[in-house]
Chain A
Amino acid sequence: MTSAEYERERAEVEKTWAEKPGWLGQLMVVNHRTVALRYLVTTFVFFLLAGLMAAAMRLQLARADNDLIGPDLYNQLFSMHGSVMMFLFAVPVLEAMGIYLVPLMVGARNIAFPRLNAFSYWVFLFGGLMIFIAFALDIGPEAGWFSYVPLAGPEFSPGKRQDFWAQLITFTELSALIVSVEIIVTAFKLRTPGMTLKRIPLFVWAQVATAFMVLFAMPAVMLGSSFLISDRLVGTHFFNPAEGGDALLWQHLFWFFGHPEVYIIFVPALGIVSEIVAAFTRRAVFGYLPVVLSLLATAILSFGLWVHHMFTTGLPPAGMSFFTAASLLIAIPTGVQIFCWIATFATGGRLRFHTPLLFVVGFFFIFIIGGLTGVMVASATLDSQFHDSYFVVAHLHYVLIGGALFPLVGGIYYWFPKMTGRMLSERAGRWQFWLFFIGFNVTFFPMHILGIEGMTRRIYTYSASSGWEGLNQLATGGALMIAASVVVLIANIISSLRKARTAGDNPWDAPGLEWATSSPPPPSNFVRPLVVTSRTPLWVTPHPETVIGLPTGIRSVLVTRVHDAEPHHISVFPTPSIWPFLSAIAVTILFIGSIFTPWALVWGAVPVAIGLIGWFWPTKEETATHCKYEVKPPREAPPPSEPAELRL
């Protein structure tokens, strides 16, 4: 094949996969990278807003008996902070990394179900906008991100504040469930030939484990939030103990989701750590199999721990012991991964201390503390002291910021060149790291002590006689350092974006397939599917073999078999469409309407139905293409996409 042929093919593929121009085109985007970048920017904005809320709370707590912020606003602030950080930042931002990277890493041209993917983003965006607008209108949630009933129930939370919270859950969980399905299908069916199960990148494994957790955990909280809103709106009695309901039912439903939620946030971050460690030690992570099994074990075990959030509710002792044991058990797979990474450091090549690795090392220092305090709160006996105190605030931030945010920021520094074609400043990166690392510890380490000294969570003020003022001032000081570090990050991103695209395809000399294409990648990611023969393909062959023969005039994607990634058939992927956007608007109308009237479920279904009908309305041409490539032929005839036609 001549290079001219290749160039023609490239041009054709690029034309086929190009998005539509114009502002309408912007609303029709189905490319996973564009959607992922939108997710990233949106979640980052939500992160900034929730961070400002945290800063406001820290200012209020800086002094004893401070009256900067009253209880009404404070309660909304911490409820928003928790809900936004969990539902609108931590989960979606890591899913966004998955949406961006999983197809690239498995060598696919797009994520599975791209229109659904676009739909998930719009639903997520509208849900996020809804809650922030509600907050701006004084309808922000006020019963915490956990919304315990009866406080969040109809009697004790009048008005619509909690209903908006419940619908926020519905919005975000809907989008999270959609993304999980896409990631699972992408990782299982769209892997490039040769990428057998044993060659799947660790980040993809982490995303798959996470996606399965989402599939099993999120329905519990969606059920819970639906129960809550129906208790509030139509007067059901799910949580009314007088009429046979139970306030603890909410806690069970919530934490059956809420505990896996922590791992949903933290497992993908482990995947990031593995990728960065491998890249900067110049070797594949030691112990691929144990690490993968640990990820899967974490995903499974995470469903057996939820009761450790309820140790002080007076549950039977046998139950408490079971959940203590289970909670301790989950430390084992995490420990194994940490040991494997240390072994990787110990046996890898010479370390290149770039910012991404700096954040990963910071992850070790912080996350291990969070893990160890996790062991402490897993003890039912000790938890009776730690529960709902600032000790837990410290613990959870050590786990979530240490365990997820540090790797995430590292990952941003690591993949920024791929996403934008530009490098972030190393110098600013170091500044940011040290500000963040020190600020973080100054903010949150004292909280362990405050918790032991009796400072409880979610208090908007404390008395001078409590003796908590000094450490609280320290924590506020630390919070300002964190804020400064975030400013440095923003400045770094902005200034980098103004520079030229000089990063090149593989600035870190990393082994993954995402580095085998240009930065940023072309609309189809790869002109031709690559063929993989190793866990570290680019280190083995910097220019892997490609699959040819895929039709170029249609959005053809090679579908492979789950276990051995042998090509199976060609799937025709959908083109840009406005219907996901319109359907998302219809769903938004239904969800927001049902805050005010149950009839919204009835009349709101009409626009949703219209949206879906438009979305799935078949055209003759499409049907013909699909039939040609996707309908399984009768056994006797050879399938059209047999390897015979593909030259590897």
Chain B
Amino acid sequence: MRHPLRGLLSVLMPPLLLLLLVLAVWHTLTVALEIESFLLPAPLDVVRAGWGDAALFLKAGFRTGAAAVGGFLASLIVGCVAACLFAQSVWIRRSCYPYAIFLQTVPIVAIAPLIVVWCGYGMQSVILVSFIVSLFPIITSATTGLLSVDPDLLDLFRLYDARRLTVLWKLRLPSAVPYIVSGARTSSGLAVIGAIVGEFFTGYGSSSYGLGYLIMQSSTLLKTDRLFAAVFVSTLLGLAVFGAVSSIGTAILRHWYGTE
């Protein structure tokens, strides 16, 4: 009934149209309001800056992306495990939430020296920062999910004196999937910004750099066009991770729950 190419087109059209609109407004802004290019570069300049150094941006994007994906996966696993612990009792929750919150509210600049001393400079530290930054949403949404179980189903498990672990594995975790998916969506973006911030403080030198370095450098040199090109790549990165997480999440939800 539907041509596959037309399907793809209809998927891509609206965002592209909006993109064009946004670019037009942005362009008009820079021209009409005479916004100086050192503040907000014209879209064309950004494209030119990005295109001119495409290979470099791509490489940097890949490096940062790899760290972000690593940090995200670590958060997903550790976050779910932590949430399982948190769901066990209100005491554990009360006792441990402060430490989870600490991880979320601590500025990376404050703990960067510790991280570097213990993990050294390089990818592993960038992943660690990305992990720290993206952990909390998973913990909190998974915990909420694990606790929002249908009480009737819980009764069913109680009837058979199911052990906590069994309830967790066979009831709470599957029920929490929609919440975990929602948390993972949030985390995916945070993992990317976490990797970039990680590169600011613990990242690579200048010979092999990620987006964090490009952003820092362009900002120092006031090369706003380059800066925005790098930010654009990081957004693309965020979109890619988010898109992947969303698609997987949607597939799981559709398969398991028949909901969108």
| B and A form one assembly | no
